[in-house]
Amino acid sequence: MLYSRTYFSKEELENALNGIVDPVELNRILSAYDMADMAYSDKKSFNGSPYFFHTTRVCKILVSELGLTEPEILIAALLHDIFEASNEISPEIINYNFGAYVTYLLTILKDDFAAIKKYPMPVNDNINTLKIPSDDYLIIWLGEHLDNFRSLEVSPMFNPINYILNIISTLFPVAEKSENPAVKKLLHELKQERNKILG
């Protein structure tokens, strides 16, 4: 089966986190899974596979390859394109269900890395203390593109070379400045996939 036709099932996600993540937090993650399934149900990826599959695989990369279990980053990975995919799900709904930090991550993921500076997130509602989550943002961003690299299929409608070159020129330099082990691992995997395609 083609990689792009695979997905991370709800049961696999639950089994991977059961006993590691607090049950209440696990339920929040599984609720995000269900929301993603609903919101992306009629969306397709560039390769024609269900877009929901892509979001679950990004979550799987974070859980299975990086060993990440932080609820907020996994929720944001599952919902990373939610505001573009659904007109019915607003930042207010995300904030109510998953909190301010997830809402913030999803908001800046609509834009680019500069949005972190543009929309600083106050910590403990103290506007004078800012949390700039460049690592969390980068991890989701890199995970998304790693899944895309692994899913690339050449077709008359899509040539992946320009996409790869664009990511190399824009994303790699930002990621290379990070000392975060997860970012380093993702960058390494992206370079491996790039080499498979470009030689």
Q: What is the CATH number of the domain that holds 21?
A: 1.10.3210.10
Write out pLDDT tens, residues 148-190: 999 886 555 567 788 888 888 888 888 888 899 999 999 999 9
pLDDT digit string, tens, across residues 109-142: 776 545 544 554 444 444 443 344 568 988 999 9
Q: Which range marks the domain in which residue 23 is found?
A: 3-198
pLDDT tens digits for range 75-99: 999 999 888 878 889 999 999 999 9
Handedness of CA 110, 116, 119, 122 (dihedral sign): positive
Predicted pLDDT of residue 191: 96
- Asked whether 6 and 53 are in contact (CB, 8 A), the reply is yes
Cα 32–Cα 36–Cα 40 angle in degrees, nearest 5? 175
> If we measure between CA atoms, which residue out of 42, 74, 82 comes closest to residue 57?
74
pLDDT at 16 over 90: yes
Q: What count of other Cβ atoms lies within 10 Å of the Cβ of residue 64? A: 14
Are the C-beta atoms of 29 and 13 separated by less than 8 Å?
yes
Specify the number of domains making up the chain.
Answer: 1
Report the pLDDT value the prediction gives residue 4, as an integer from 0 to 100: 85
Say if residues 13 and 57 touch (Cβ distance below 8 Å): no
Q: Where are the beta strands (DSSP E) in 52-191?
A: 121-123, 126-131
pLDDT score for 111 = 65
Distance CA 170, CA 112 (A): 10
Give the predicted TM-score (pTM) of the model.
Answer: 0.87
Q: Are strands 126-131 and 121-123 parallel, antiparallel or unpaired?
A: antiparallel
What pLDDT band is residue 195 in, cutting at 50, 70 and 90?
A: very high
Q: Which residues contact 3 (CB under 8 A, 6 or more apart)?
A: 150, 151
If you average pLDDT over residues 17-40, what whole number do you get?
A: 96
Q: Which helix (H) or strand (E) element contains residue 190?
A: helix 181-198
* pLDDT, greater one: 103 or 127: 103
